[in-house]
């Protein structure tokens, strides 16, 4: 799982590739905002490399990519244009894209901006609307607070949700602040299956601290710009590319409104649902995830679940 730093549009981007160059290419876009492709490649490399040429990146400024310097211009648009520049750099004519969580937001915007570059889209438990997702996440936070006897936190979450005038940014930042109170139980918001962990020991704790300091700069700049708080649900109907929406029993990002809009508006949309799974099927249900990707990108028809 060793990648390379490649200069893309004036910035060094961390890029991993696996699988034969003659295989159908897939770009993987991580979530967060500000996570990494590390857990995806850890769990999916051995499963997908026989069938695809997979390109997985740490987005501009994230983790193993070059940090965004103080005063440097940075925008959501850079993430989209980086995808296209990477495709051109690798001399790939068209590729499919997997976007997890916030990566689904980036993938949808990429497909809207560069529609002729993409063969198929896979949205893994995505958000296309930060306000809707933040409300869904706050409900999950309240539920966990109740589970662990944090009555005051549960009440704070529900009081916060009762305010219908909050902006998408206020909802997002309120969720971040309130969910942090859960401490070591916070990851239960996202993770349901716990018996397939990721081994992060390739890097030291000090290196991971450095990586996530970079990601914090990236996320702070995206929040300050504010474009990520624009809903993309209206763009689903514009996409002519075949799309697969992956949902799960215990995901707290892709709410019912996301699913309803996808069902009604996607011209070439299919849905696959993971049972007994949380926000991250690519490692919670790694074998099943790989089979579904292989079937969809490989051209086999899936049944709505």
End of a domain among 188, 219, 236? Answer: 188
Q: Would 155 be classed as within a structural domain?
A: yes
Contacts of 145 (CB under 8 A, 6+ apart): 151, 153, 154, 157, 181, 182
CA-to-CA distance for 211 and 32, rounded, in angstroms?
13
Reported pTM = 0.96
Last residue of a domain, which of 143, 168, 188? 188
Judgement on whether residues 101 and 142 belong to the same structural domain of the protein: no
Based on the domain organization, do 118 and 73 belong to the same domain? yes
* Boundary residue ending a domain (188, 222, 256): 188
| DSSP letter string, 132-184 | HHHHHHHHHHHHHHHHTT-HHHHHHHHHHHT-TT--HHHHHHHHHHHHHTTGG
258 φ/ψ angles, rounded to the nearest 5 degrees: -60, -50
Q: Are residues 125 and 143 in the same domain?
A: no
Is residue 162 included in any domain, yes or no?
Answer: yes
164 φ/ψ angles, rounded to the nearest 5 degrees: -85, -5
**Domain presence at residue 255:** yes
Residues 6+ apart with CB under 8 A from 147: none
Distance CA 3, CA 161 (A): 42
The tokens 């499963």 sit on which residue?
47
Tokens of 129: 């609307």
Distance from C-alpha of 14 to C-alpha of 83, rounded to nearest angstrom: 12
What are 107-122's pLDDT values in tens digits? Answer: 999 999 999 999 999 9
Looking at the structure, do residues 46 and 123 belong to the same domain, yes or no?
A: yes
Question: Coil, strand, or helix at residue 122?
Answer: strand
Angle, helices 130-147/256-265, rounded to nearest 10 degrees: 140
- Residue 293 inside a domain? The answer is yes
Query: Residue 259 is part of a domain; what is its CATH number?
Result: 3.40.50.1820
DSSP state of 26: E
Residue 303 inside a domain? The answer is no
Q: Examine the domain organization and report whether 137 and 217 are in the same domain.
A: no
**246, part of any domain:** yes
- Indicate if 123 and 137 belong to the same structural domain: no
Instruction: Look up residue 218 and give its two tokens.
Output: 């990236």
Q: Are residues 124 and 242 in the same domain?
A: yes
Domain count for the chain: 2
pLDDT in tens, 255-276: 999 999 999 999 999 999 999 9
pLDDT in tens, the chain (305 residues): 578 999 999 999 999 999 999 999 999 999 999 999 999 999 999 999 999 999 999 999 999 999 999 999 999 999 999 999 999 999 999 999 999 999 999 999 999 999 999 999 999 999 999 999 999 999 999 999 999 999 999 999 999 999 999 999 999 999 999 999 999 999 999 999 988 899 999 999 999 999 999 999 999 999 999 999 999 999 999 999 999 999 999 999 999 999 999 999 999 999 999 999 999 999 999 999 999 999 999 886 554 44
Helix, coil or strand: residue 259: helix
Question: Cα–Cα distances in Å, from 186 out to 31, 92, 125, 134?
Answer: 17, 40, 18, 14
Residue 302 domain-assigned (yes or no): no
Is the same domain home to 161 and 258?
Answer: no
| Whether residues 157 and 11 fall in one domain | no
Q: Which domain holds residue 183?
A: 132-188
Mean pLDDT of the chain: 96
Is position 193 within any domain?
no
Under 8 Å between Cβ of 148 and 189 = no
Are 121 and 142 part of one and the same domain?
no
């Amino acid at each position: 799982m060793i990648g390379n730093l490649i200069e893309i549009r004036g910035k060094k981007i961390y890029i991993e590739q696996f699988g034969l160059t003659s295989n159908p290419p897939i770009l993987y876009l991580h979530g967060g905002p500000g996570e990494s492709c590390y857990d995806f490649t850890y769990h999916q490399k051995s499963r997908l490399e026989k069938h695809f040429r997979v390109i997985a990146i740490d987005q501009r400024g994230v983790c193993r990519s070059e940090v965004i310097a103080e005063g440097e211009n940075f925008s959501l648009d850079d993430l989209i244009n980086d995808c296209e520049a990477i495709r051109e750099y690798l001399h790939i004519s068209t590729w499919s894209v997997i976007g997890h969580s916030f990566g689904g937001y980036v993938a949808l915007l990429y497909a809207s901006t560069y529609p002729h570059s993409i063969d198929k889209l896979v949205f893994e438990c995505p958000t296309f609307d930060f306000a809707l997702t933040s409300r869904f996440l706050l409900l999950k936070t309240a539920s966990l607070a109740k589970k662990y006897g944090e009555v005051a936190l549960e009440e704070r979450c529900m009081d916060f949700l009762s305010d219908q005038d909050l902006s998408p940014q206020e909802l997002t930042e309120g969720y971040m602040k309130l969910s942090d109170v859960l401490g070591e139980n916070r990851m239960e918001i996202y993770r349901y299956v716990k018996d397939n962990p990721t081994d992060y020991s390739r890097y030291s704790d000090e290196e991971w601290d450095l990586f996530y300091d970079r990601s914090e700069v990236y996320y702070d700049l995206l929040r300050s710009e504010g474009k990520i708080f624009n809903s993309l649900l209206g763009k689903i109907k514009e996409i002519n590319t075949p799309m697969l929406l992956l949902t799960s029993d215990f995901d707290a990002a892709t709410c019912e409104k996301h699913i309803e809009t996808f069902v009604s508006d996607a011209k070439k949309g299919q849905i696959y649902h993971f049972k007994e799974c949380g926000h991250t099927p690519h490692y919670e249900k790694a074998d099943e995830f790989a089979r579904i990707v292989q079937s969809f990108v490989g051209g086999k028809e899936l049944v709505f679940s």
